[in-house]
Amino acid sequence: MDELEREQARILEEFRELGDPFACYSYLLGLASLLPPCPEEVKRPENAVEGCQSHVWLRSRAEEGCFRFDADSDTYIIKGLLYLLMNVLDGRPLEAAAGAELYFWKDPLLLGGFDEHRQKGIGYVAAALQRQAGQLLKKREDTGGEPPAEK
Amino acid sequence: MADWHTIIRERDFPMIEQAECDGRPVIYLDNAATTQCARPVLWALENYWRSQHANVYRGVYCLSRRAEAAVEETRQICAEFLGAASAGEIVFTGGATQSANLLADAFALTELKPGDLVLSTEMEHHSNLLPWREACRRTGAELALVPVTEEGELDLDALDRLLERRPKLLAVCAVSNVLGTVNPLREIADRAHAAGCAVAVDAAQAMRCCLPGVRELDCDFLYFSSHKVMGPTGVGVLYGSEAWLERLTPPRTGGGMVSAIREDTVLYERGPLKFEAGTPNLAGIAGLGAALEYLQAVGRRRIAKREKALLQYAEKRLRELPGLRILGAPKQRAGVLSFVAPPLQAYDIAMLLDSQGIAVRSGSHCAIPLHRRLGLSGSVRVSPAFYNTAEELDALTVALRRSLEGAKKAGVPVGENARG
């Protein structure tokens, strides 16, 4: 089991202990405050991953071969999920971040109330992050070095 | 002895009585989005598919004639429900949104030209705003919005100023789907008509609150959806006065709406049929008829009184919760109550409520201009129907209190900044 897989397993274990969906959502509200502050300039339309009811902004970069990103949302529950995604993906080698199989939010025991529609929304965010990791990886391969951080 | 609403809830609304999700009971408080079907509606739908299904207007055989008679019977029921002069003023559509689009398209074809003015309001659902915006874009007409006051009422002085510009039509809701504001429609219609402006009323949220008849309101057009009056989805009504339906050109063409075709001309059917190209939603129409008859049988005044009492009770209970702000303070409110609890977003609150088995709506409720006017990105909306109970609203209050307290414990500063 690699690090990324281990982190997802840890999340599942933690949430299984919480039990019911209300406890899970309340816990996510708390995790929201742990998400690192996001630079204001990230919250631009070009960085937005639009969902139906909440907004998410992402901006990623490569640092010493690793995937790093800033993220924010206008809703606390989604911020809590971004914090979990950050634990899984941020700081991982680009190859691992781009190629990982991400699934923790789909576990019915974790967030029983997350129906398909909501799962899809979080899935879009995860897919956007992995796409960006893939692009950074390709840039590195094309240029033979670290791609410059976006301004 | 049980109250009438307890009896009909248990007898007529199996979905409400048995609602569950993942094995947990659900309290359904999203009736502004859709109401549950009454049992007689389910029977009407079943009866249609079992014994009545045949196409209308094109068959001489018994089943087709029977289906046609059923459609015309529902047209008559709708006319009586709305207080229309005749069934010839009732056009069947796919719902209020389709009604507004059909009307806006017909109006654009027949009435609008570059430089004309059309009015809508800041409190409209997108379905009564975007069709008019599109009609104006296509014709070179201008769309202006009547603003909303701090209390959540239409600014009638601003309306008067706009009416001085002699607009062609005013599209206005009877009841705001966010604030619940009941608009003074007759007064608005009088002012508009004095300026030569036609009035189109979106009554989607007003059909259970004892809306006066269309002649009493003196509106030119009115539309609503079946699924907000205990009927099925996918069907609705566009009322148009006989004179207007005669005058407007149908924007959709096809079967069932033509009386004759010559080499260079087409003669359309008269009345509503010319706006009903293609096969109508026959099962839906049967369900709509049953739904309106059901509301009549239960008693429209009784329903309106019951829903008003529930909404007032909901407002009283929600005002007990610190950190929660109810939107608007209109003189008369019906159907819906929306609130925010900053810095929590509507999505957060709705998810927390959902996890406790309470179904409410969150987001912009397809009224982004109104939320922008209020400085908000969204709100949570509670909309009880007559089959809901005070105990369910108590449960909502308990769940909300638990949610807000849980959020505070998690470090979210709920209630520390009163503005949303």
Which of B347, B360, B403, B408 is most worth mutating to test chain A (most A CB atoms within 10 A of its CB)?
B347
| Confidence band of B418 (pLDDT split at 50, 70, 90) | very low
With an 8 Å Cβ cutoff, the interface of chain B facing chain A consists of 22, 343-348, 350-352, 354-356, 362-363, 377-378, 402, 406-407, 409-412
Residue A133 domain boundaries:
3-143
ipTM score of the complex?
Answer: 0.81
What distance in Å separates the CA atoms of residue B119 and residue B134, rounded to the nearest whole number?
A: 13
pLDDT tens track for B203-226: 999 999 889 999 999 999 999 999
| Confidence band of A146 (pLDDT split at 50, 70, 90) | low
Contact assignment for B354 to A113 by CB distance below 8 Å = yes
| Confidence band of A150 (pLDDT split at 50, 70, 90) | low
Exposed/middle/buried for residue B62 (C-beta within 10 Å: 0-12, 13-18, 19+): exposed
Q: What is the pLDDT of residue B23?
A: 80
Q: What is the pLDDT of residue B209?
A: 87
DSSP state of A20: S
In a domain, residue A150? The reply is no
With an 8 Å Cβ cutoff, the interface of chain A facing chain B consists of 20-22, 24-27, 29-30, 32-33, 52-55, 74-78, 112-113
Partners of B351 on chain A (C-beta within 8 Å) are: 25, 77, 113
- Total structural domains within chain A: 1
**Which residue type is seen at B114?**
P
In a domain, residue A103? The reply is yes
Q: What is the pLDDT of residue A53?
A: 60
pLDDT tens track for B154-196: 999 999 999 999 999 999 999 999 999 999 999 999 999 999 9
Q: How many CB atoms lie within 10 A of CB B375?
A: 8
The chain-wide mean pLDDT, for chain B, equals 95
CB B172 within 8 A of CB B200: yes
In a domain, residue A116? The reply is yes
Q: What is the pLDDT of residue B210?
A: 81
CB B245 within 8 A of CB B222: no
User: Mean pLDDT across the stretch A32-42?
Assistant: 94
| Confidence band of B342 (pLDDT split at 50, 70, 90) | very high
| Domain containing residue A49: CATH number | 3.90.1010.10
In a domain, residue A76? The reply is yes
pLDDT tens track for B347-400: 999 999 999 999 999 999 999 999 999 999 999 999 999 999 999 999 999 999
What distance in Å separates the CA atoms of residue B266 and residue B277, rounded to the nearest whole number?
A: 14
Reference B172, options B113, B124, B100; nearest CA is: B124
Peptide bond into B342 cis (omega under 30): no
User: Mean pLDDT across the stretch A101-110?
Assistant: 79
Query: What domains does chain B contain, in order, with CATH numbers?
Result: 4-30+299-409 (3.90.1150.10), 41-296 (3.40.640.10)
Closest CB to B348 among A21, A75, A113: A75
What distance in Å separates the CA atoms of residue A116 and residue A114, rounded to the nearest whole number?
A: 7
| Confidence band of A114 (pLDDT split at 50, 70, 90) | low
| pTM metric for this prediction | 0.91
In a domain, residue A113? The reply is yes
Residue B308 has pLDDT above 60, yes or no: yes
In a domain, residue A33? The reply is yes
Q: What is the pLDDT of residue B21?
A: 79
Q: What is the number of CB-based contacts under 8 A between chain A and chain B?
A: 63
pLDDT tens track for B237-254: 999 999 999 999 999 999
Contact assignment for A32 to B412 by CB distance below 8 Å = yes
Closest CB to B378 among A53, A76, A112: A53
Residue B22 has pLDDT above 90, yes or no: no
Partners of A29 on chain B (C-beta within 8 Å) are: 348, 406-407, 410-412
In a domain, residue A148? The reply is no
Contact assignment for A52 to B354 by CB distance below 8 Å = no
Residue B44 has pLDDT above 60, yes or no: yes
Closest CB to B363 among A25, A53, A77: A53
User: Mean pLDDT across the stretch B72-95?
Assistant: 98
Chain A nearest C-alpha distance from B189 (Å): 35
Share of chain B above pLDDT 70, in %: 99
| Confidence band of B232 (pLDDT split at 50, 70, 90) | very high
In a domain, residue A87? The reply is yes
Question: Which among A97-101, B224-228, B413-417 has the top mean pLDDT?
Answer: B224-228
Chain B nearest C-alpha distance from A114 (Å): 9
From residue B177, give the alpha-carbon distance in Å to each of A92, B27, B336: 47, 20, 7
